[in-house]
Amino acid sequence: MSTQAALNAKRRRLFLMGVLLGMAVGLLTAFQGTATRHRTARVVSGSMAPTLYGPHWKNTCRDCEFPWRVGQDIAPDGERFVCPNCGYAQNDLQDAGVQRGQQTDLHSGSYWNRPPQRGEMVAFRKSAQKSATPWAVKRMVGLPGEQVSIQGGDVYINGAIWKKPWPLFERQAVLVHDSRFSPQLHPANRPPLPLRWRPRNDDPSWRFEHDGYQYAPPADAENASEFDWLVYHHWLCSEIPQLRTKEAAILDGFAYNVGPARQLQPVTDVVLECELTVQGEGEIALELRTVNPGLTCKITAPAGQVTLLVESTPLKAFRLPAGSLIGRHIFTFGLLDRQAVLALDGVLLCSPDLPEASQPMKSLQSKMLAAEPFQIGARRVTLVVGRRRILRDVYYLDPLRLGRDWSMQTPLRDDAFFVLGDNPPLSIDSRQPNVGPIHRQQIVGQVHLLPR
């Protein structure tokens, strides 16, 4: 064979190989495109609220103008609804707008080449039959071979607490209080209601202005050894007017849920989110008192040295990035899954584990402290406190939706998973015997909330 003929034969082989390779890539792309098909679906229940909302009423308090959602999963027992922010009980749904469930995006090929991960929202068939409908959406919690239990409202995996990632907490968190909505609007408030945030011992160094507070150090501040505190007082928010402003611990009530009353549980996993503007040299402090001993975060200005303490014992110390105390910033501090968490402008800075000795408040004095779960302190520094929000973590319940500890009898099988809803009082999930663990073949794909 001549050199030219050999060259032509080689070219033909390369061309044929290119055609075959292109066909293979095209077939693989088409298969993956089918496997990763996106489908949209509308949420039909509130079992994943507040992450996903089903059909609901959109309500606004007639006193403090706080907006919140009321689920349509269960017909309301009455015509009046208590504002979860200020406790005003004469709200009704006559003027509330009816909203459809939120739209979600189902990635049906998410688990084509990997297994589901803990914390992801998954859609699954309620039966092992491939043609079974409808689907349900829950959060993946227990993986094959693991044993899931619930203790004190937290999820444990093989005896160790599940430490949720910070972004997941932000999606699941239930808003407890928002300082922007002040209950001073309704003429029925006679006498005027007390402020939720008040200086301890009426300290004149704190001045209330435009829904925020300003702290100016007193003349002898250079010699001050103690902090001056601004204290949050939590209200029961009862439908009984006389009990509306009764101070109480934060409970696991969720205003989205309506229907039969249940025994509410005290929640220790709470965080304070506050806007702070610091000027001058001195210290600020954030303190949490839902556990005993309490947690304190001290920050020196302008150096930005941070010290987390359990009572007076240091837990962790570090320095903020340069410039972190210049201007207004959002600090978030509290307790999550037995971790002391501190975030700056939405970015988690640290989350050290709590000592084993730390326990929820139990004594009468402790319960009184739990009614004042947070306080903001200042010493030898000028401080402006802006918007303040308090959020709580999901409080998981046993299968009967009580506050008792509960555990699976045996570990999950190799092809089984344990799922939970983000709204434990309403969700029907793997806790209940009629659902139990779900099998791999029931899982349809991963679910995401569609942006508006």
Is 54 domain-assigned?
yes
- Burial of 448: CB neighbours in 10 Å, binned 0-12, 13-18, 19+: middle
**73 and 155 share a domain?**
yes
**222 and 364 share a domain?**
yes
**47 and 138 share a domain?**
yes
Length of the chain: 452
Mark which of 352, 372, 392 sits at the end of a domain: 392
Instruction: Report the pLDDT value the prediction gives residue 361, as an integer from 0 to 100.
Output: 55
Is 176 domain-assigned?
no
Instruction: Report the pLDDT value the prediction gives residue 365, as an integer from 0 to 100.
Output: 46
**Short-list 432, 424, 426, 425, CA closest to 408:** 432
Instruction: Check which CATH number belongs to the domain holding 224 and give it.
Output: 2.60.120.560
**201 and 153 share a domain?**
no
CB 396 within 8 A of CB 133: no
- Looking at this protein, which amino acid is placed at residue 373? P
**CA dihedral sign, ordered 366, 368, 370, 375:** negative
Mark which of 347, 366, 392 sits at the end of a domain: 392
Domain encompassing residue 133: 39-163+399-452
Give the count of domains, the chain.
2
Contacts of 210 (CB under 8 A, 6+ apart): none
**Strand ranges for 135-293 from DSSP E:** 135-142, 148-151, 154-157, 160-161, 174-178, 197-199, 206-209, 212-215, 228-232, 270-279, 282-288, 291-292
Dig out the tokens for 44 from the structure: 């039909």
Instruction: Check which CATH number belongs to the domain holding 145 and give it.
Output: 2.10.109.10
pLDDT in tens, 255-274: 999 877 889 999 999 999 99
Is 65 domain-assigned?
yes
Is 120 domain-assigned?
yes
Is 348 domain-assigned?
yes
Instruction: Report the pLDDT value the prediction gives residue 191, as an integer from 0 to 100.
Output: 73
**278 and 360 share a domain?**
yes
Phi-psi map region of 29: left, alpha, beta (phi>0 left; psi -120 to 50 alpha) = alpha
Instruction: Report the pLDDT value the prediction gives residue 86, as an integer from 0 to 100.
Output: 94
**208 and 332 share a domain?**
yes
State how far the Cα of 338 lies from the Cα of 358, in Å rounded to an integer.
9
Mark which of 392, 413, 439 sits at the end of a domain: 392
**374 and 404 share a domain?**
no
In a 3-state reduction of DSSP, which class is residue 450?
coil
- Burial of 6: CB neighbours in 10 Å, binned 0-12, 13-18, 19+: exposed
**372 and 437 share a domain?**
no
**207 and 330 share a domain?**
yes
Q: Global pTM?
A: 0.87
Instruction: Report the pLDDT value the prediction gives residue 153, as an integer from 0 to 100.
Output: 96
**426 and 315 share a domain?**
no
**386 and 411 share a domain?**
no
pLDDT in tens, 40-83: 888 999 999 999 999 999 889 999 999 999 998 876 766 678 99
Block means of pLDDT (10 residues each) for the chain, 452 residues, are 55 51 44 59 93 92 93 76 92 76 90 94 79 79 98 97 97 96 79 90 91 88 81 92 92 89 92 96 94 93 95 94 90 97 97 80 54 95 96 97 94 97 96 94 92 72
How far is Cα of residue 195 from the mean position of the Cα atoms in its chain? 26
**131 and 218 share a domain?**
no
Is 237 domain-assigned?
no
In a 3-state reduction of DSSP, which class is residue 123?
strand
Instruction: Report the pLDDT value the prediction gives residue 12, as an integer from 0 to 100.
Output: 58
